[in-house]
Amino acid sequence: MGGNELTSVSVSRFDHIVAPSPESGEGLSPNPARAIAVSFDGVGKTYDTNNGSVHALKGITVDVAQGSIFGIIGRSGAGKSSLLRTVNRLETATEGRVVVNGVDVRSLSDDGLVTFRRKVGMVFQHFNLLSAKTVWGNVALPLIVAGVPKLEIDERVADVLRLVGLEGKQDAYPSRLSGGQKQRVGIARALVNRPEILLCDEATSALDPETTLSILELLKDINRSLGITILLITHEMSVVREICDDVVVLESGQIAEAGKTWEIFSKPAHAATKALLKPLEPGIPRDIADRLASQREHFHQRALVELTYGGNGREGIKLQELARVVGPSVQIVQSVVDRIQGHAYGRMLLTTDADDRVALSRFEGLADNARILGYVRDDV
């Protein structure tokens, strides 16, 4: 039934995708004319339950650029999975449209949906592997279902297993694999149909930090070398910072904010984003926090000042400048400097004995934001 014919169409498209641009690369500033892979246009979702209806998504309008890694974040229950699952119509949007590579997913017939889903792979938090089947059996399954000839299946399974770093493991059963290896099988299975889009719902949440890193590297590789667009849900903000080009923050089913990851992370505007990013903030060192007074009680106390900067083309705070502007008494207590997608951002805590008002106005020229957190004794 047309299955093989469709498969061979997608093979040639895939070959075309693989061949060019390992450089599609930087992920920094996508070509403004870049095509849209997924367009959410006023998407709403209402679940009808025995206890009434749950309005899980409201008026979601945002585009996912082709070839990008797009993060979906938000508190538990914000609607992330609901949104992701409208892309392959595991959930149907009850309002608005979801357009994937130009196709309104609602317009797909049942047969059309089967073919469409081969182009949209999905990776799950708990891997969803069949324990009675080997690695080969799990990865080959979508191709067997699609009626692909055995020889081609062998070839394609071997290819994806090599890609995810599992060559030699094809005869192992899932129970013999580590969590990271299981997720590699899950990713191989999602890739074996040569999809154009990969949906990942908490793909690394069941893994330890080191394995998480290796899976992220793999996803990044897949995105860069195969040009596959990835939509990724995670609770780990360091994951988003690491690999997402763009991010949307959901709050109670609506968009709190959306944009380039470096912009959102360096200047979170919405309370929901600030709360999500809190764990990435260094905070005030405990011993200093314990001694922090809200008012200057006598002149031996120094002001504890927080400077933050991000985006704006600022490359950091020049120490020479700091000493020149504030004077030699300035003391750095803590400093975190990092880069997201090539943009520097950071936060510095320092103490100064300079007069409050003078100090703050001076600092403002050095960073995007300056504020006095309190006062500590001279001996910090």
Q: Footprint of ligand ATP on this chain (CB under 6 A)?
A: 47, 49, 54, 56, 74, 76-82
Given 24, 66, 68, 81, the residue binding Mg ion (CB under 5 A): 81
- Closest approach of Cβ 78 to ligand ATP, in Å? 4
Contact 187, 207 (CB under 8 A): no
Comparing CB distances to ligand ATP, the nearer of 134 and 252 is: 252
Closest CB to Mg ion belongs to which residue?
A: 81
Query: 352 CB contacts (<8 Å, ≥6 apart)?
Result: 302, 303, 305, 326, 327, 329, 330, 331, 359
Nearer to Mg ion, 68 or 81 (CB): 81
Minimal distance in Å, beta carbon 54 to ligand ATP? Answer: 4
Cβ 248 to ligand ATP shortest distance, Å: 12
Identify which of residues 81 and 352 has a Cβ nearer to Mg ion in the complex.
81
Give burial (CB, 10 Å; 0-12/13-18/19+) of 316. Answer: middle
Question: In the Cβ-directed half-sphere of 110, how many Cα atoms lie within 13 Å?
Answer: 0
Which one of ligand ATP, Mg ion, none interacts with residue 12, CB within 5 to 8 A by kind?
none
78 makes contact, choosing from ligand ATP, Mg ion, none, with CB < 5 to 8 Å by partner type, with ligand ATP
Interaction between residue 115 and Mg ion (CB under 5 A) = no
Q: Which residues contact 192 (CB under 8 A, 6 or more apart)?
A: 139, 140, 142, 143, 156, 157, 160
Asked whether 71 and 234 are in contact (CB, 8 A), the reply is yes
Compare residues 24 and 82 and give the one whose CB is closer to ligand ATP: 82
Nearer to ligand ATP, 90 or 325 (CB): 90
The count of residues in the chain is 380
Q: Indicate the residue among 79 and 174 with the shorter CB distance to Mg ion.
A: 79
Q: How many chain residues interact with Mg ion (CB under 5 A)?
A: 1
Q: Which amino acid is at 348?
A: M
CB of 342 to ligand ATP, least distance (A): 30
For residue 273, CA distances in Å to 43, 131, 246, 249, 261 come to 21, 39, 14, 7, 11
Task: Report the phi/psi class of residue 294: left, alpha or beta, with left for phi > 0 and alpha for psi in -120 to 50.
Answer: alpha
Shortest distance, position 253 Cβ to Mg ion, whole Å: 13
Taking alpha carbons only, the member of 144, 244, 234 closest to residue 189 is: 144
Smallest separation (angstroms) from ligand ATP to the CB of 278 = 16
Binding site for Mg ion (CB under 5 A): 81
